[in-house]
């Protein structure tokens, strides 16, 4: 009798998986441990393993299909064995409440129709109005021929500029080469000499809808839960990033031949772990009737991928060096972008860091990633005038924002953590001890 392989639960929050690609086809021999298919979960793309020896006699799920946990994917049996698809598991039907238990409010709101009264026809919704196209420029709307020199027309075509958006400066409003070049120059501001857009016309992208991936759907659900159920509050602090940047440059220059290269984020991850050691009350999780205290700093960091965001974890960051964290973080980020992270690599974090500084963002507030009690948002380093010892000097400043779950972290505790974090960043040699 053939063995049925069902959709397994490949992550802690997974409810459905998408069959991305079959690595075996019907009729192929398979052994226990062979990889049969690639499955997209709510957090990563993982490989489906066979636990049986035999022949892949039947595939029940086509590539691209979404399959719930426990539903059949394929069957492994003897060559030539015929296997029918197992019946789909139906959820238990909800019992209807007895008629006599309905409340008076329910009966009044939903009266039973008389036996001789035909049901009322369903109202047909009005047709959706068709949006009107935007008005054309006056010259095009009136059907007037655009007055433009042949050279100017050719140049406009090469630059992707719409001549009808240009006000000509030649005789009778004729568009010249200089008018087109002026329109191109003003295009950096989005307006031509005559006040119209000089960018290519047409839609931004193809209209329609895109199916939401399992990962995107899970991210959306968890973000809504976090933002609506966790009482967020935020603490900002500005730190002197000059010493950290100087130390980083010395390290990367001195160890260039060894291939070691540390990033600002590597220092932030290490500093966060050490700050959690100094203020352990932030390294906790809310569990309803109790608060769980974590005795180890497992610091995760946000990585942007095509389907959203994932947070690989640097476990025991408090006992690892900046160099160990740098190597591990780089490897985790590469695996995340290739959708090859295992569940054990992105679950179990006790604190999270989200860094948008490399994108030029000065400051932002991140949404907490439950069950963490806090998340640190890291902005870019700004070169600006600052006051030091009563003198105005050029400084390098970075803004850090801590989002806190007020059920676990009070304002004073959050402030103590930020003060400890600032001291570590402004004295980065402490992070190398």
Query: CA quadruple 323, 417, 424, 303: dihedral positive or negative?
Result: positive
190 is written with which tokens? 């989005």
Among 319, 323, 310, 320, which residue's Cα sits nearest to residue 352?
310
Give the residue carrying structure tokens 């959203």. 308
Kindly report which listed range (73-82, 189-198, 312-321) carries the lowest average pLDDT score: 189-198
Among 99, 53, 432, 420, which residue's Cα sits nearest to residue 239?
420
Q: What is the 3-state secondary structure (H, E, C) of 17-61?
A: EEEEEECCCCCCEECCCCEEEEEECCCCEEEEECCCCEEEEEECC
Burial 139-160 (b: 16+ CB within 10 A, else e): beeeeeebbbbeebeebbeeee
Among 261, 265, 282, which residue's Cα sits nearest to residue 359?
265
CA–CA separation, 432 and 275 (whole Å):
14
Is residue 115 scored above 50 in pLDDT?
A: no
Kindly report which listed range (134-143, 154-163, 264-273) carries the lowest average pLDDT score: 134-143
CA–CA separation, 94 and 100 (whole Å):
18
Is residue 161 scored above 50 in pLDDT?
A: yes
| Topology alike, domains 3-77 and 142-189 | no
Average of per-residue pLDDT across 82-97: 63
Average of per-residue pLDDT across 289-306: 95
Instruction: Please indicate whether residue 232 is annotated as part of the active site.
Output: no
Is residue 103 scored above 80 in pLDDT?
A: no
- pTM equals 0.64
Residue 13, helix vs strand vs coil: coil
Q: pLDDT tens, 171-211?
A: 778 898 888 888 877 663 334 444 445 455 677 788 888 88
Q: pLDDT tens, 376-417?
A: 999 999 999 999 889 999 999 999 999 999 999 999 999 999
Tell me the CATH class for 231-432. Answer: alpha beta
288 is written with which tokens? 């309803």
* pLDDT for the residue 107: 38
Overall fold of domain 142-189:
Dihydrolipoamide Transferase (4.10.320)
Domain at 3-77: CATH code: 2.40.50.100
* pLDDT for the residue 211: 83
Indicate the DSSP class of residue 338.
T
* pLDDT for the residue 90: 58
- Helix or strand (DSSP H, E) at 258: none
Report yes or no: 185 and 199 within 8 Å, Cβ to Cβ.
Answer: no
Average of per-residue pLDDT across 254-280: 94
Give the length of the chain: 433
Specify burial of residue 78 (Cβ count, 10 A radius: 0-12, 13-18, 19+).
Answer: exposed
Strand partners, 299: 314, 351
Among 273, 264, 431, which residue's Cα sits nearest to residue 351?
273
Q: pLDDT tens, 269-284?
A: 999 999 999 999 999 9
CA–CA separation, 424 and 59 (whole Å):
56
Is residue 263 scored above 60 in pLDDT?
A: yes
Q: How far is CA 302 from CA 80, 231, 349, in A?
A: 49, 21, 11
Per-residue confidence band for 88, with pLDDT thresholds at 50, 70 and 90: low
161 is written with which tokens? 């500029």
* pLDDT for the residue 302: 96
Averaged pLDDT score across all residues of the chain: 84
Delimit the domains of the chain by residue range.
3-77, 142-189, 231-432
Per-residue confidence band for 98, with pLDDT thresholds at 50, 70 and 90: very low
Cβ-Cβ contacts under 8 Å for 251 (sequence gap 6 or more): 260, 262
Give the residue carrying structure tokens 């990889």. 35
189 is written with which tokens? 């501001």
276 is written with which tokens? 């959690």
Cβ-Cβ contacts under 8 Å for 362 (sequence gap 6 or more): 379, 380, 382, 399
CA–CA separation, 234 and 226 (whole Å):
14
Q: From the candidates 232, 294, 298, 406, give the one annotated as an active-site residue.
A: 406
């Amino acid at each position: 009798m053939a063995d049925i392989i069902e959709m397994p639960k490949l992550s802690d929050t997974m409810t459905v998986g998408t069959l991305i690609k079959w690595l075996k086809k019907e009729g192929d021999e398979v052994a226990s441990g062979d990889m049969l298919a690639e499955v997209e979960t709510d957090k990563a793309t993982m490989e489906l393993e066979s636990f049986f020896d035999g022949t892949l006699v039947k595939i029940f799920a086509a590539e691209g299909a979404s399959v719930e946990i426990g539903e059949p994917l394929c069957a492994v049996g003897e060559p030539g064995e015929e296997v029918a698809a197992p019946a789909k598991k139906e959820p238990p039907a909800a019992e209807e409440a007895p008629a006599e238990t309905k409340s008076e409010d329910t009966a009044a709101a939903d009266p039973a129709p008389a036996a001789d009264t035909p049901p009322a026809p369903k109202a047909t919704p009005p047709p959706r109005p068709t949006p009107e196209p935007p008005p054309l420029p006056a010259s095009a709307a009136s059907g007037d021929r655009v007055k433009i020199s042949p050279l100017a027309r050719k140049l406009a075509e090469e630059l992707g500029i719409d001549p009808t958006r240009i006000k000509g400066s030649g005789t009778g409003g004729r568009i010249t080469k200089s008018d087109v070049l002026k329109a191109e120059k003003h295009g950096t501001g989005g307006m031509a000499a005559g006040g119209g857009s000089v960018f290519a016309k047409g839609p931004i992208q193809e209209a329609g809808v895109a199916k939401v991936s399992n990962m995107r759907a899970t991210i959306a659900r968890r973000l809504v839960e976090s933002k609506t159920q966790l009482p967020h509050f935020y603490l900002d602090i500005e730190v002197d990033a000059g010493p950290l940047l100087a130390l980083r440059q010395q390290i990367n220059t001195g160890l260039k031949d060894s291939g070691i290269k540390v990033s600002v984020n590597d220092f932030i991850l290490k500093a966060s772990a050490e700050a959690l050691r100094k203020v352990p009350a932030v390294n906790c999780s809310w569990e309803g009737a109790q608060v769980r205290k974590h005795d180890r700093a497992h610091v995760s960091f946000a990585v942007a991928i095509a389907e959203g965001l994932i947070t690989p974890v640097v476990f025991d960051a408090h006992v690892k060096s900046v160099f160990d964290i740098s190597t591990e973080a780089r490897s985790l980020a590469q695996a995340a972008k290739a959708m090859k992270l295992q569940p054990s690599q992105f679950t179990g974090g006790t604190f999270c860091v989200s860094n948008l500084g490399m994108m030029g963002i000065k400051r932002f507030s991140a949404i907490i990633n439950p069950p963490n009690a806090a998340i640190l948002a890291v902005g870019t380093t700004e070169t600006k005038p600052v006051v030091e010892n009563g003198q105005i000097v050029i400084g390098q400043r970075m803004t850090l924002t801590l989002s806190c779950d007020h059920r676990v972290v009070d304002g004073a505790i959050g402030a103590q953590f930020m003060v400890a974090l600032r001291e570590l960043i402004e004295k980065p040699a402490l992070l190398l001890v």
